[in-house]
Amino acid sequence: MKIALVCPASLPATQFGGILALCVDIAKESSDSGHDTTIFTTDLDFANNLKTFNKNLPRVESIENFKIKRSGVWFSIGLFYVNPGIYFDMLKEKCDVIHTIGVRSFQSYAAALVSKKRNIPLIISDQGGLTTHPDLKNSGLIRRIFYKLQSPMIRFVIGQSKKIIVPNEYEKKIFSGLTDENKIEIVENGINLEKMKSNIKFKTKYGINHEYFLFLGRFHKVKGIDILLKAMKLIKNHHLMSDVKLVIMGVDFGFEDEMLRMINEIGLDDVVEVIKNPPREDVIAAYKESEFLVLPSRWELSPLTPLEGFAFKKPTISTKAHGIPYTLDDGKNSILVESENFNELGNKIIELLNDKTKCKELGMNGYEHIHKTCNSQEMVQHMLRIYEKVS
């Protein structure tokens, strides 16, 4: 089968987030299964910031057993990248199926146009909170108008699709209000266990001499970093914190300056370590040497970060917001608190620091979960069966 995957970003823009990781994992697993797979994407590099487009990246690149075809971005509005060349690149291919990831994108619109013109079955996955992401309501007026203008494009993409793949019941409910429920199939997100390896000695590299718990994610207010810092203010003088730090790792999505200001004003400089733009191998090493993860998000659809933590038997303290309870099992492999409740968050951090047995038990349950269900091999085999149905 010849498979076209479509995404706003791909390698080497590893800090773009879960959409990219999902697309790359589908490409690898499907090509390993003998399918001819190509990712069609932009020339986003993301080496230093979220608007780094690199015209020196190869237009066509083979990575492992799959290909990446890039076309240059003419202009961008936030994370909406316009690269008309992707349409013409896809027209040249005789694909059996097109799978686009990230519906609210120019790339998905181009994929739907090619699907219609060439009569190629279109499968869509969102992974971006099509109607529920806080930015849709909390952005400035111009951005909100732009989101409104995207509505006809989104309706066209959904209408052209043969199947809609969602990671959980939460997103299924979202799409059920927009299209025929029979189109929708749940395929749980999975991580590539083979890639969860690193030779980096994290504490040594970053001069960390204490145990630490880890926040990993974009520096964006939706991730709840401010809630985490307020919780840290409450617990920083607790005796269990005397030999423990919080490590914050990620890339700036507009909240870095405020985050650093809060750390300074609250007086957390001695208990919080901030690591910006970390290489992927350092992220993996950070998981391995951490005690547990903290993800106090105001919104998530189906987070991959906790699943990656599970690869190292590390549980996550997160929230009950949106799709998180559909991904994490409260009391079994994680601890979920009410969103915005920094008092409860601080108490649960202390609880896990104080109860190593519970921490290990939650982590082991998570480890078993990803090896049984939420891994890229299981995920992609399920997707391939869907491709075969529609092609």
Cα–Cα separations (whole angstroms), residue 236 to 201, 229, 349, 368:
26, 10, 11, 33
Task: Indicate if the pLDDT at residue 168 is higher than 60.
Answer: yes
CB 358 within 8 A of CB 352: yes
DSSP assigned state of 10: -
Task: Indicate if the pLDDT at residue 10 is higher than 60.
Answer: yes
Q: Which CATH class is domain 2-190+375-390?
A: alpha beta
pLDDT of residue 2: 97
Q: What is the rounded distance in angstroms from the CA atom of residue 95 to the CA atom of residue 131?
A: 30
Q: What is the rounded distance in angstroms from the CA atom of residue 356 to the CA atom of residue 237?
A: 20
Strands 66-71 and 316-319, bridge-based pairing: unpaired
Mean residue pLDDT of the chain comes to: 91
pLDDT in tens, 262-297: 999 999 999 999 999 898 899 999 999 999 999 999
Q: Which two tokens stand for residue 33?
A: 């299964």
Cα–Cα separations (whole angstroms), residue 170 to 63, 132, 200:
34, 11, 37
343 HSE (CA, 13 A, CB side): 0
The band of 184, judged by pLDDT with boundaries at 50, 70 and 90, is: very high
Of 75, 71, 63, the C-alpha closest to 7 is 71
Q: Residue ranges per domain, the chain?
A: 2-190+375-390, 194-372
Q: What is the CATH number of domain 194-372?
A: 3.40.50.2000
pLDDT of residue 76: 87
Which pTM was predicted? 0.85
pLDDT in tens, 201-222: 999 999 999 999 999 998 999 9
Do the first three CATH levels of 2-190+375-390 and 194-372 match, i.e. the same topology? yes
Q: Which residues contact 257 (CB under 8 A, 6 or more apart)?
A: none
pLDDT in tens, 304-330: 999 999 999 999 999 999 889 999 999
Q: What is the rounded distance in angstroms from the CA atom of residue 261 to the CA atom of residue 265?
A: 6
